[in-house]
Amino acid sequence: MIIRSAIACEVCSQPHTTRIGLGQEASHTHRFPCRGCDEEIVLCLDSDSTTASAWLVPVENATQIEEVPGAPIVNLDAVESGWR
């Protein structure tokens, strides 16, 4: 399952569309460089298997926003917990 969310960098306001693969763990931390200013953005994807739900938690340099058309897409993998 892929969880799609929109975030903005708190440093430069660059919007991003994140696509995070849901893994086996209840919580996954992901780091990637902002596509606007290269500052590190840190997100956590939490999930609850009993309710089949998942939600994004901004950790560092990130704010959740409404999706912005044309924003850079960042694919994050649960296994790597990194960006590509």
User: Across the 84 residues of the chain, what is the mean pLDDT of every consecutive 10-residue run?
Assistant: 94 97 86 98 92 92 97 86 45
Largest CA distance in the chain: 39
Concatenated DSSP letters for 55-77?
A: EEEEEESEEE----TTPPEEEEE
- Domain extents for the chain? 2-83
24: helix, coil or strand?
coil
pLDDT at 79: 66
* pTM of the full structure: 0.86
pLDDT at 38: 98
pLDDT at 1: 83
Give the chain's end-to-end CA distance (angstroms, integer): 17
